[in-house]
């Protein structure tokens, strides 16, 4: 899953699709659906404010790359993760995040994050993007 469809989210969709993953874009409204699916090739689009759709999508994702750079609740997204799923924080937020701990504990879920990989990983990713013709928008 890719949460947030800005610059980092765009590249997340492109890279994940190039790696052969099934990609679900998660956004707060329907306004970026065409961009996500038509232009970037996402397989599914989930509106986080649609309670019924979110409930249907529960326990479906292996991981979510969270690119949202503002404070937001984590529980709705943690519920989308399968057993041992990971929520990977990529959006820089300068305020403490809060979540209800059973959401993590009951599904053995992890919350993690990273700014950048090693020099070797960065080189590998740049080479992968070159081979696949991937570029930012």
The yes-or-no verdict on residue 109 having pLDDT over 80 is yes
Round to whole Å and give the CA distance between 17 and 51: 26
pTM of the entire structure?
0.93
Round to whole Å and give the CA distance between 93 and 69: 5
Q: Does residue 127 belong to any structural domain of this protein?
A: yes
The yes-or-no verdict on residue 30 having pLDDT over 80 is yes
Across the range 95-122, mean pLDDT stands at 90
Q: Give me the number of domains the chain comprises.
A: 1
Q: Does residue 137 belong to any structural domain of this protein?
A: no
The yes-or-no verdict on residue 7 having pLDDT over 80 is yes
Q: How confident is the model at residue 117 (pLDDT cuts 50, 70, 90)?
A: confident
The yes-or-no verdict on residue 114 having pLDDT over 90 is no
CATH of the domain at 108: 3.40.50.720
Q: How confident is the model at residue 136 (pLDDT cuts 50, 70, 90)?
A: confident
Q: Does residue 128 belong to any structural domain of this protein?
A: yes
Give the domain range for residue 95. 2-132
Q: Which residues, other chains included, contact 43 with Cβ-Cβ below 8 Å and sequence gap of 6+?
A: 22, 23, 24, 37
């Amino acid at each position: 899953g890719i949460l947030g469809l800005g610059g980092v989210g765009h590249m997340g969709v492109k890279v994940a699709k190039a790696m052969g993953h099934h990609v679900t874009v998660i956004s707060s409204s329907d306004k970026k659906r065409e961009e996500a699916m038509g232009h970037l090739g996402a397989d599914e689009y989930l509106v986080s404010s649609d309670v019924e759709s979110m409930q249907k999508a529960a326990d479906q994702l292996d991981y979510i790359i969270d690119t949202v750079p503002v404070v937001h609740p984590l529980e709705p997204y943690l519920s989308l993760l399968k057993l041992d799923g990971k929520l990977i924080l990529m959006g820089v937020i300068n305020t403490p995040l809060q979540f209800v701990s059973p959401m993590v504990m009951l599904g053995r879920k992890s919350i993690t994050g990273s700014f950048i990989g090693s020099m070797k990983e960065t080189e590998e990713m740049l080479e992968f993007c070159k081979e696949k013709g991937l570029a930012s928008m």
